[in-house]
Amino acid sequence: MKTIDLQKHTVRDLNQALHDQVEECTIREWEVLEPKGQHNIACGLDQNLSVDIKGHAGYFCAGMNKKAHVTIFGNAGQGVAENMMSGTVRVKGDASQAAGATAHGGLLVIEGNAGARCGISMKGVDIVVKGNVGHMSCFMGQAGSLVVCGDAGDALGDSLYETHIYVKGSVKSLGADCIEKEMRAEHIDELTDLLNRAGVEEDPKAFKRYGSARQLYNFKVDNASAY
Amino acid sequence: MCGIVGLYLKNKALESQLGALFTPMLIAMTDRGPDSAGFAIYGDEVADGSTKLTLRHPDENYDWDCLASAIKDDLGVTVEWFKNSKVAVFKVGAEVDVVQPYLAENAADILILSAGQSIEILKEVGLPKNIAETFNLASMKGSHIIGHTRMATESAVTMEGSHPFSTGQDLCLVHNGSLSNHNRLREELKREGVTFQTENDSEVAAGYLTNRLRKGDTLNEALTNALKDLDGFFTFTIGTRDGFAVVRDPIACKPAVMAETDDYVAMASEYQALTTLPGIENAKVWEPEPETIYVWERDQ
């Protein structure tokens, strides 16, 4: 295992060392010490690495992640795992706003609470939050799943496309065109799988499912003639 | 962009270290605001009926002693003062409504940065590190302090445009964001007797709170009303003589992080500014919720 102390090395040094593993992987396990809220830690990884960040991370931690497994032993700032393509990002504490924004794939697990706009414009990532999510979560979510074991804030799932949303607690309000939907057997199966992958012990039957009512302009075939 | 930071001590034993604890917090926010910086520190109170003012003159060699003698002779009151760079702190044995008109009449080239019983505001153009050194921030004592590092977007980089702003006795506000209804609100507040020194939107927010507090609102009530009446983006940190508060607008796109231990409450735009605080590893660290008022107040 390779240990990098961010009070002795720059984030750029760390990220370059992690990127150097793309051509030929010589070290699988990495440990990052003293992150002290610095931004852009472990961004743009493209290799099957394990990266443990021992402390609080700043903005965009593990952004654009591909294949790697990044764990933050603390809180994460804005945009954790934004635009992730594959791999796993796990936040042991809370995440600030826009966690998993625009992410295409992989699994993001937040063991604490997530702030506003969790999963905004998500495009295929699976996000499991053990705590609550803030307002405007899953705004314009296009694909993937958002699981919330706590409560959701205002305007959940506004202008949603195909993302599946599961919430165990209360939903303060639903966004435009987002509705509660029937929880069928296939959804219980999907949710069971998501919870298992996230290592979260919850009863899938205790959740409600939310999705797009498909009533907004872009869902109406009559509008196709405009193009 | 701008950075804001605040530190409120719960443990009085730390008061002698307030400036030393706060200096690295302010400097950590240089990336968010390298143009100018300032802070409002609370402590070293004057008695009821007396007023403490922070005064600034652009000439570092200004004859403050002459001004102090004139106030003593003309108003027949006690004056204690000390100089810190281009700023002087005056402790005058008279009410603020006597001292302020006197200064306006007799020392019009003096800028009053703050007035009250506890507050001192110090601010200058330049890097936060240089400003901390200029005023010897690290040696300062007090009960709480709030600060601002500015990346100017809406008005020039000048001392006058630097934050923080104070519009009423012992009240100070630092702001990250922008207000959209400040022009109309400023006119309404002027009609109600609030005075402004700049065209800055943040000063309007400070003026709004001053006006509410004058009308008898508690700090909590004033901020509840502010959430209704202020339109725009904001994360505010507010200091009063014995209080400290943080509030974010309902959209909450301007960042904020808070930390609390048995010894202190701290806030910053980014967690990086909190990493030098003692015991931060085990502090409760959280992101303040949108449209939620966080207030700490000392017992009188």
Count structural domains, chain A.
Answer: 2
Tell me which residue range forms the domain holding B212.
3-44+124-297
Q: Which three-class secondary structure state does DSSP give residue B50?
A: coil
For A38, the closest chain B residue by CA position comes to: B272
With an 8 Å Cβ cutoff, are A94 and B257 in contact?
no
Residue B153 has pLDDT above 80, yes or no: no
Same domain, B195 and B257: yes
What is the ipTM, given to two decimal places?
0.90
What pLDDT sits at residue B167? 85
In B, which residues are within 8 Å of A72 by CB distance?
Answer: none
B291 CB near a chain A CB, below 8 Å?
A: no
> How many other CB atoms are found less than 10 A from the CB of residue B187?
10
Q: Does a structural domain hold residue A190? A: yes
Contact B274, B280 (CB under 8 A): yes
With an 8 Å Cβ cutoff, are A94 and B286 in contact?
yes
- Please give the average per-residue pLDDT across B62-88, as a whole number: 96
Same domain, A68 and A22: yes
A193 vs chain B: nearest CA distance in angstroms? 30
B243-248/A143-148 β-pairing: unpaired
B252 vs chain A: nearest CA distance in angstroms? 8
pLDDT by residue (tens digit) across A130-154? Answer: 999 999 999 999 999 999 999 999 9
Contact B116, B51 (CB under 8 A): yes
Q: In what order do the strands lie in the sheet with B79-84?
A: B79-84, B87-92, B51-56, B111-116
Residue B159 has pLDDT above 90, yes or no: no
The CATH number given to whatever domain includes residue B142 is: 3.60.20.10
Same domain, B231 and B253: yes
The CATH number given to whatever domain includes residue B110 is: 3.30.70
Residue with tokens 């924004």: A101
Tell me which residue range forms the domain holding A125.
97-221
What pLDDT sits at residue B1? 80
Q: Does a structural domain hold residue A122? A: yes
Could you say which of B57, B84, B117 is where a domain stops? B117
In this prediction, residue B300 has a pLDDT band, given cuts at 50, 70 and 90, of: low
The model's pTM is 0.93
pLDDT by residue (tens digit) across B208-255? Answer: 999 999 999 999 999 999 999 999 999 999 999 999 999 999 999 999
Q: Any idea what DSSP says for residue B289?
A: P
In A, which residues are within 8 Å of B271 by CB distance?
Answer: 36-37, 56, 58, 75, 77
Count structural domains, chain B.
Answer: 2
What pLDDT sits at residue B128? 97
A149 vs chain B: nearest CA distance in angstroms? 19
pLDDT by residue (tens digit) across B180-196? Answer: 999 999 999 999 999 89
Residue B232 falls in which region: left (phi positive, over 0), alpha (psi -120 to 50) or beta: left
Same domain, B57 and B96: yes
Same domain, B39 and B88: no
Q: Any idea what DSSP says for residue B288?
A: P
With an 8 Å Cβ cutoff, are B270 and A134 in contact?
no
Same domain, A147 and A192: yes
Same domain, A67 and A122: no
Q: Does a structural domain hold residue A85? A: no
Please report the residues numbered 144 through 183 in chain A whose beta carbons come closer than 8 angstroms to any beta carbon of chain B.
none
Same domain, A126 and A62: no
B1 CB near a chain A CB, below 8 Å?
A: no
Which one of A96, A137, A173 makes the best mutation probe of the B interface by having the most chain B beta carbons within 10 Å? Answer: A96
Same domain, B198 and B239: yes
Which one of B271, B275, B282, B285 makes the best mutation probe of the A interface by having the most chain A beta carbons within 10 Å? Answer: B271
Contact A6, A38 (CB under 8 A): yes
